Structure 1
């Protein structure tokens, strides 16, 4: 009988890279063990939430001892596949796209932008921030050639769905969507949407309500 796979809640999954980053910081400072309370203070996440998240992966710590930092760093590195870099394509080299390319992710994460596409680029490509940039007409050819499964989308909203349909046709598995529309995709593609204007409006709302609450 096959071993049953434990389903990790999405909220927990999104926090895993944060745990890995902060545990790396502890390890780099020479710390050998850490409690959920110490992690809570550093990360500003409730200690009960941290213990609950960790419990999905079995006994990662011991009562009265806490968590072995080096073990957790190794565990989360393996869980997040940090030892194997993932190649990413960027579509849309405007202000936000340029920022992504200048930063590139491989310096701090296990992802790296290896190719980009923009309507102003020539079909035979040009180099920006050490990354080749091609005209969008080359998307299918280049993504297939490089075997890229993950794409960052920073294009005008009017172009987003049409580009997404093309990405689906070449087997892309994940899209990080920075446009303002909700993309329609087949079940084989996972989309994470980050709408900066919505996040800002949400922050303003909470700030204003915090002020109202403090006046009660």
Structure 2
């Protein structure tokens, strides 16, 4: 059953996990309240942007007081479903995929890679960093068995669309795509693409132009 949630800009949604992370830091330092300016200085985000982001969720703070840290932390914990762990599958266990498997979102995350697939893995599976890795030919069967709704693509670019097509009709609702190619999917499968080369070029441009 879907919850009633406010419609907020995508840029704001991307900042929500950052707010949660920094609020945890303030909470761990025993801060009872925090101002938008304090958050701004810690996160390097304009305070007006923070106040605007928070305004999408109603009155989270009080003028002249700021924000109650435990209350705000609890609010974002529920908003981000931190109590409900997301089971993630990794598709493609090359260099980048192996790095993901070893990291595996260990602390302060509500996501965990529980299974992985690769064309070079044995059919019966193997274990890498405590994660079972199966051959891609049994992917659909195992995705259902493990209750997977989110997958990470770290596979070769040439195979990305083909694998995405295979996921149509499965329980997968989202793809975090680390390949540099655009992926076309039906509306019921969301795709978020992170092109590392584009991100790097953007950073280089900003450095050289002092943006």
TM-score category (smaller protein): over 0.9
Contact residue 85 and residue 106 of structure 1 kept, 8 A? no
| Equivalent in the alignment of 1:86 | 86
Which stretches of structure 1, 4 residues or longer, exceed 4 Å deviation after superposition? none
Structure 1: gaps (5+ residues): none
| Equivalent in the alignment of 1:197 | 197
Residue 114 of structure 1: SS of its match in structure 2?
strand
| Equivalent in the alignment of 1:119 | 119
Alignment size in residue pairs: 209
Q: State whether structure 2 residue 154 is matched by structure 1 residue 154.
A: yes
Q: TM-score, normalised by structure 1?
A: 0.94
Q: Alignment RMSD, CA only?
A: 1.4
Contact residue 105 and residue 112 of structure 1 kept, 8 A? yes
What is the Cα deviation at residue 207 of structure 1? 1.8
Q: TM-score, normalised by structure 2?
A: 0.96
Distance in 2 between the 1:202 and 1:69 partners?
34
Q: State whether structure 2 residue 64 is matched by structure 1 residue 64.
A: yes
What is the Cα deviation at residue 171 of structure 1? 3.1
Contact residue 179 and residue 193 of structure 1 kept, 8 A? yes
Deviations 1:134-187 (A, max 9, x none): 000011100011221100000110000000001123131000000010000001
What is the Cα deviation at residue 5 of structure 1? 5.2
Instruction: Tell me: CA distance 1:15–1:145, structure 2 relative to 1, closer, same or farther (3 Å).
Output: same
Distance in 2 between the 1:97 and 1:6 partners?
34
